């Protein structure tokens, strides 16, 4: 069996997040376009050198992006909404970033999760009147750059036509096949130029096929690839799936492509069951994802070697067997080099992207030969980790959780307690994190800034923003979260059972990077985490101040969790710990508490058949975090940038008194959900997009409010931004919130006039 190594993609951000710094510096106008492009090229080539040095047989090219790979594909095919063409940007790069971030006159394209990961992509908008063309063959440019600059015969990577169209919007669903045919002609041009340039294999990513559950869907995809094969008969394509199993591996093997890629980590059992029943056709390549691309734990190479040996009889006629990551390493931190502060026993069980490259090489080198010392060292360190953290000891039984009094009864007592105006205004929680505040937090952590000085700075920031909120006229205030680095990492630092990294960054969206904590043992409450700052803010105002917590499911989904422990067990442990924090907030007089769950929908399994089980334990975990509060305590939650139409019942079952959900970036499409679904609890549909520097006018926000009130009762409706304001500037934040408050007051007046 001829074994080769490959990966589907590699982190873009660089070992020290130099990609992020270059991007944000350009946005601020500190670099010219030429300087920006040159630095991005340097980062791109340095990244390729690392992959070359690692000894990969097939090095991906074209997966590097200035913002997002789906946005790259849309721009490559000139899928640019008319509102950006009308805004007359200065260059093609301006148009590209305008689509991602918006402009004064044009709202940004929708952003949503990339399958069930914490990465978010820009949703392509295919408008009527689009003239299909290849505006720029980006994969070809990247392929030639790698060849000419470094002598690398790279493996170009493209988002596949089926997946690209499945994740796009704007075209009639009934015309999916017609638009797919149009795209195929564009893909054929890109692929033919790559083939003519010498590309020996081209990776076509089709993760959407793991969600294709019927033969009809697979037949449509198969027909598309048959048409593509007719257009580019000489192309050598590897059709890559990941994130889950494929329901019809036998059919996939019949696609007219050089090879197929399957995930043997996520969806392992289903894929394995089918593989064991099939013989790989002669001349085909089979690419197997045997190293987890989405988590940080070392691979048990002995187990994966044994697995490959079991599958070997079915690969007898295969041209090559590739061993690779389960998906792009985009979802992994870059390198363990900087992690000098982690406990040695924990570090011995970890592998980031760079170390995963080494694992692939070890597995290839030792597959047929006697294991060498490097193999033994790897397995020995993994054994050391397992012996130290053999299994969780607590494993508290997951039980049904529920507030004893239903919302219909809580609502009346809460109305009497809070006496809020119609359409109350609030924010989601965080306020701008200035450079000064970030530097102070870093200095405090390093010990170069005293606790007294740092806490004074935090208090001063809190006081400033309480004053600003009152001046704007907001009805429910927040303290601003100036003491927090990240909404999940902050709690990872405070709860027992978590470890935080020094440099374990991954890209979430655009230049936004997060540092997920690592759950390595039982999660327990240590001491109050948020009470001091929230209680201080409450002393500064007579208006209610919300306590701000991250929910158990989001903490779990945005951490690197133990893969040998059921998710629901860990989520319930986190919920129990948060329950203690909620109690501490209540005791300090904070009786309006927001428990954010932006990742609850993100964690939804990709297979429809697995949805109910996940939603049952995820919703129950949220309820467990708040089940013991007083009836007068108002529990809020927040969700953003996901599709909610199919889980509205579960959102209601969370039993939060108020939920806020994004609707601005999707241009109000979520509102349509409530035309056919009754939602009987408090709700705020975000009225403006905080991920864009664009400041919408009050009239624009009022339009969303008015449209929302057409399907939701005014007495339950809240007005808020669609997410936290941490990434915005103070000037942008104040201007937008003033407009939001004006929009709410205009809507209140309109309702009063209607009642007269």
**Cβ count near 446 (within 10 Å):** 8
Coil, strand, or helix at residue 369? coil
CA gap 523, 5 in Å, rounded: 37
CA gap 479, 533 in Å, rounded: 7
Helices assigned H by DSSP within 342-488: 344-347, 353-366, 373-388, 407-418, 435-446, 451-472
CA gap 232, 188 in Å, rounded: 6
The CA-CA-CA angle for residues 248, 250, 253, to 5°, reads: 110
E strand or H helix that includes residue 156: strand 155-159
Q: Which are the contacts of 190, defined by CB distance < 8 A and separation ≥ 6?
A: 76, 134, 137, 139, 140, 158
CA gap 668, 652 in Å, rounded: 20
CA gap 479, 726 in Å, rounded: 12
Q: Which two tokens stand for residue 579?
A: 């329950």
In angstroms and rounded to an integer, the radius of gyration of the C-alpha atoms of the chain is: 26
Measured CA distances, 572 to 336, 516, 568, 601 (Å): 30, 19, 6, 17
Coil, strand, or helix at residue 480? strand
Residues 9 and 365: beta-carbon distance below 8 Å: no
Residues 325 and 293: beta-carbon distance below 8 Å: yes
Closest by CA to 296, choosing from 268, 264, 335, is: 335
Residues 590 and 531: beta-carbon distance below 8 Å: yes
Residues 725 and 695: beta-carbon distance below 8 Å: no
Annotation says 479 is catalytic:
no
Task: Using the CB atoms, write b or e for 241-258: b if 16+ within 10 Å.
Answer: bbbbbbbbbebbbebebb
| CA of residue 676 relative to chain centroid, distance | 28
E strand or H helix that includes residue 283: none
Q: Which two tokens stand for residue 605?
A: 């399994």
| CA of residue 169 relative to chain centroid, distance | 19
CA gap 98, 183 in Å, rounded: 24
CA gap 545, 530 in Å, rounded: 12
Residues 701 and 716: beta-carbon distance below 8 Å: no
CA gap 107, 697 in Å, rounded: 12
Residues 347 and 381: beta-carbon distance below 8 Å: no
Residue 456 CB burial class (10 angstroms; 0-12, 13-18, ≥19)? exposed
DSSP bridge pairs for 545: 477
CA gap 53, 150 in Å, rounded: 11
Binding-site residues for Zn(2+) sit at: 638, 640, 662, 723
CA gap 281, 259 in Å, rounded: 10
E strand or H helix that includes residue 240: strand 237-240
Closest by CA to 213, choosing from 614, 608, 645, is: 608
The CA-CA-CA angle for residues 91, 164, 290, to 5°, reads: 115
Q: Which entry of 248, 378, 636, 691 is annotated as an active-site residue? A: 691
Closest by CA to 253, choosing from 223, 284, 277, 287, is: 284
**How many residues comprise the chain?**
756
Quickly tell me which residue has 């597959």 as its tokens: 367
Active site residues: 691
């Amino acid at each position: 069996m001829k074994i080769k190594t490959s990966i589907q993609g590699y982190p873009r951000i660089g070992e020290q997040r130099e990609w992020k710094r270059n991007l944000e510096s350009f946005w601020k106008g500190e670099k010219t376009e030429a300087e920006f492009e040159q630095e991005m090229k340097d980062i791109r080539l340095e990244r390729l050198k690392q992959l070359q040095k690692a000894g990969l047989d097939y090095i991906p090219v074209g997966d590097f992006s200035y913002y997002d790979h789906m946005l790259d594909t849309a721009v490559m095919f000139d899928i640019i909404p008319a509102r950006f063409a009308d805004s007359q940007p200065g260059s093609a790069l301006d148009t590209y970033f305008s689509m991602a971030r918006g402009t004064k006159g044009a709202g940004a394209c929708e952003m949503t999760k990339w399958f069930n990961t914490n990465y978010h992509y820009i949703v392509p908008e295919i408008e009527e009147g689009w003239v299909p063309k290849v505006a720029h063959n980006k994969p070809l440019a990247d392929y030639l750059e790698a060849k000419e600059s470094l002598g690398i015969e790279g493996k170009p990577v493209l988002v596949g036509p089926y997946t690209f169209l499945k994740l796009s919007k704007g075209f009639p669903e009934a015309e999916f096949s017609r638009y797919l045919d149009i795209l195929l002609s564009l893909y054929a041009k890109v692929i033919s130029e790559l083939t003519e340039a010498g590309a020996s294999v081209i990776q076509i990513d089709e993760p959407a096929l793991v969600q294709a559950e019927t033969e009809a869907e697979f037949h449509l995809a198969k027909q598309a690839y048959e048409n593509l094969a007719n257009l580019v008969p000489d192309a050598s394509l590897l059709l890559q799936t990941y994130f889950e199993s494929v329901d019809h591996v036998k059919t996939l093997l019949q696609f007219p492509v050089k090879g197929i890629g399957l995930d043997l980590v996520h969806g392992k059992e289903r894929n394995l069951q089918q593989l064991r029943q099939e013989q790989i056709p002669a001349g085909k390549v089979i690419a197997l994802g045997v190293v987890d691309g989405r988590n940080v734990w070392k691979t048990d190479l002995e187990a994966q070697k044994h697995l490959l040996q079991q599958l070997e009889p079915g690969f007898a006629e295969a041209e090559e067997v590739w061993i690779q990551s389960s998906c792009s390493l985009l979802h992994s931190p870059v390198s363990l080099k900087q992690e000098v502060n982690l406990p040695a026993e924990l570090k011995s069980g970890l592998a980031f992207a760079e170390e995963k490259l080494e694992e692939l090489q070890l597995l290839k080198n030792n597959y047929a030969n006697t294991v060498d010392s490097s193999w033994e060292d790897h397995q020995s360190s993994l054994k050391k980790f397992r012996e130290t953290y053999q299994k969780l000891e607590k494993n508290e039984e997951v039980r049904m959780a529920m507030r004893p009094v239903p919302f219909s009864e809580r609502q009346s007592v809460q109305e009497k307690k809070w006496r809020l105006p119609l359409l109350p205004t609030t924010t989601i929680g965080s306020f701008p994190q200035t450079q000064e505040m970030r530097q102070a937090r870093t200095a405090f952590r390093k010990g170069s800034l005293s606790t007294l000085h740092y806490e004074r700075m935090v208090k001063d920031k809190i006081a400033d923003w309480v004053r600003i909120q009152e001046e704007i006229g907001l009805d429910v205030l927040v303290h601003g979260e100036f003491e927090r680095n990240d909404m999940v990492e902050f709690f990872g630092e405070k709860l027992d059972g978590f470890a935080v990294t020094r440099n374990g960054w991954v890209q979430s969206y655009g230049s936004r990077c997060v540092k997920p904590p690592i759950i390595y043992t039982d999660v327990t409450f240590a001491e109050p985490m948020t009470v001091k700052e929230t209680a201080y803010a409450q002393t500064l105002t007579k208006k209610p101040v919300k306590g701000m917590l991250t929910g158990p499911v989001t903490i779990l989904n945005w951490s690197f969790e133990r893969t040998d422990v059921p998710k629901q067990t860990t989520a319930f442990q986190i919920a129990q710990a948060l329950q203690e924090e909620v109690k501490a907030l209540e005791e300090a007089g904070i009786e309006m508490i927001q428990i954010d769950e932006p990742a609850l929908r993100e964690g939804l399994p990709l297979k429809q058949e697995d949805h109910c089980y996940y939603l049952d334990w995820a919703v129950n975990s949220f309820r467990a975090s708040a089940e013991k509060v007083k009836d007068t305590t108002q529990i809020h939650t927040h969700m953003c940038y996901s599709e909610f139409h199919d889980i509205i019942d579960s959102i209601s079952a969370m039993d939060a008194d108020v939920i806020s959900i994004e609707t601005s970036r999707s241009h109000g499409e979520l509102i349509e959900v409530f035309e056919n679904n009754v939602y009987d609890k408090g709700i705020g549909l975000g009225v403006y997009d905080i991920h864009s520097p664009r400041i919408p006018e009050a009239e624009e926000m009022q339009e969303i409010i008015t449209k929302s009130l057409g399907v939701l009762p005014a007495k339950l409706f809240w007005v808020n931004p669609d997410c936290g304001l941490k990434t915005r500037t103070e000037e942008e934040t104040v201007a937008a919130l003033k407009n939001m408050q004006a929009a709410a007051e205009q809507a209140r007046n309109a309702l009063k006039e209607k009642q007269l």
